[in-house]
């Protein structure tokens, strides 16, 4: 049974930790947390793994479903999944001999809120 029934839709107000950078500067703690997430996503394999997990039917994927699309060994995939988990981007659960992964929506909401730009009225040409 999945720990996650579906990805909840978070409203802008639900993401209180991070105001968009254009409104106020990041604090030291928030910058450290967010930089770990962005660093984890800076690797193409990890970015693809996150995408595969997020788009997998039911919102979670077994590690056995994640090794096929890559030209790297299973231990390398496990390492990349560990990095994503330690960065707070995915959750996991062991079921028998397999580990299942799902994306943590609150982490994606933090990243999204940080990069969101406020609506700006069009400037008149000078």
Q: Is the pLDDT of residue 13 over 60?
A: no
62: pLDDT confidence band, cut at 50, 70 and 90?
very high
Residue 78 Ramachandran class (φ > 0 left, ψ -120 to 50 alpha, else beta): alpha
Kindly report the average pLDDT of the chain as a whole number: 83
Which of 22-26, 39-43, 86-90 has the weakest average pLDDT? 22-26
Q: How far apart are CA 56 and CA 92, in angstroms?
A: 14
Kindly report the number of other CB atoms within 10 A of residue 67's CB atom.
Answer: 14
Return the H-helix or E-strand segment holding 62.
Answer: strand 60-62
Who contacts 42 (Cβ-Cβ below 8 Å, separation ≥6)? Answer: none
Q: Who wins on pLDDT, 120 or 41?
A: 41
Q: How far apart are CA 66 and CA 12, in angstroms?
A: 31
Q: How far is CA 16 from CA 33, 35, 106, 109, in A?
A: 14, 17, 11, 10
Return the H-helix or E-strand segment holding 47.
Answer: helix 44-55
Which of 13-22, 61-70, 74-83 has the weakest average pLDDT? 13-22
What pTM does this model have?
A: 0.74
For residue 23, the model assigns a pLDDT of 73
For residue 15, the model assigns a pLDDT of 45
Q: How far apart are CA 85 and CA 79, in angstroms?
A: 10
Q: Is the pLDDT of residue 45 over 70?
A: yes
Q: Is the pLDDT of residue 21 over 90?
A: no
Q: Is the pLDDT of residue 63 over 50?
A: yes
């Amino acid at each position: 049974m999945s720990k996650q029934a579906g990805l909840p839709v978070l409203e802008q107000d639900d993401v209180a930790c991070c105001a968009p950078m254009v409104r106020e500067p990041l604090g030291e703690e928030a910058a450290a947390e967010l930089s770990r997430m962005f660093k984890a996503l800076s690797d193409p394999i990890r970015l693809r793994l996150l995408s595969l997990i997020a788009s997998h039917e039911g919102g979670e994927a077994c590690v056995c479903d994640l090794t096929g699309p890559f030209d790297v060994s299973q231990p390398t995939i496990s390492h990349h999944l560990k990095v994503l988990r330690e960065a707070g981007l995915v959750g996991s659960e062991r079921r028998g001999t397999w580990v299942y992964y799902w994306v943590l929506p609150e982490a994606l909401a933090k990243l999204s809120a940080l990069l969101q730009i406020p609506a700006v009225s069009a400037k008149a040409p000078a």
